[in-house]
Structure 1
């Protein structure tokens, strides 16, 4: 119905842009992909020490953190930072 009022193909182009996946190839080489999600998404109140240790060894950590901040990931350890640490970082960013 909205397509009638927009230039031909405009909505289709917008739809394709929104459903095209981002380049997430870096995730395949990340150490967390070889470890398992249990470390990186612990139960509330559990330690994230093991996840941070693994992240500290991962060469993909900067890309992972950038992804988490750009996509407002609110759960788990991403780029070596917990939810609370990423929230604090977002609050101090300009």
Structure 2
């Protein structure tokens, strides 16, 4: 008896979102760096790349693309460590809920949090950890926290 089953085909990813990306036309080394890069240079490069990503109209699609694949290198709105952290968190939540954390083809909203100071919604990567808080994150984004620290330092110098 002959089998009538054909080869298994997987849905092809849609790449159209990349045409609208803010990073289109930028230097690849800004987002992927190079081997042997010093920590200070890497941090500065990552900040510049993330600034471009922050204004990108297809940021969610980019992040989900990087999270749904074993994308180990580059800035995809998140660093390698931040993506690994999001993947681990998703796996833990899926295990607790008893469902599969396998990536799907649908775009899932990136985890976000609302800053109580500037009243802006940011990705959770923009909030420092605080184990005393219910969600484990500070209530102010890093930008507001750093600005408050700078104001406090200026006041200390002025007094």
TM-score (norm 2): 0.48
Shift of residue 7 of structure 1?
A: 1.9
Which of 2, 7, 11 is equivalent to 2:3? 7
Of structures 1 and 2, the one with the larger relative CO (CA 8 A, separation 6+) is 1
CA, structure 1 residues 8+59, in 2 after alignment: closer, same or farther (shift >3 Å)?
A: same
Which of 15, 21, 35 is equivalent to 1:30? 21
Give me the whole-angstrom Cα distance separating, in 2, the residues matched to 1:22 and 1:10.
21
The equivalent of 1:81 in structure 2 is 78
Q: Structure 1, residues 2-21: CA drift from partner, whole Å, max 9, x if none?
A: xxx9723512xx2xx24x64
CA, structure 1 residues 7+30, in 2 after alignment: closer, same or farther (shift >3 Å)?
A: same
The equivalent of 2:88 in structure 1 is 91
Q: Which blocks of at least 5 consecutive residues in structure 1 are unaligned?
A: none
- How many residue pairs get matched? 84
Q: CA RMSD in A?
A: 2.0
Which of 66, 69, 74 is equivalent to 2:67? 69
Give me the whole-angstrom Cα distance separating, in 1, the residues matched to 2:2 and 2:18.
38
TM-score (norm 1): 0.77
Shift of residue 36 of structure 1?
A: 2.4
Give me the whole-angstrom Cα distance separating, in 1, the residues matched to 2:5 and 2:89.
41
Give me the whole-angstrom Cα distance separating, in 2, the residues matched to 1:64 and 1:6.
43
Structure number having the greater helix percentage:
1
Q: Which blocks of at least 5 consecutive residues in structure 2 are unaligned?
A: 94-159
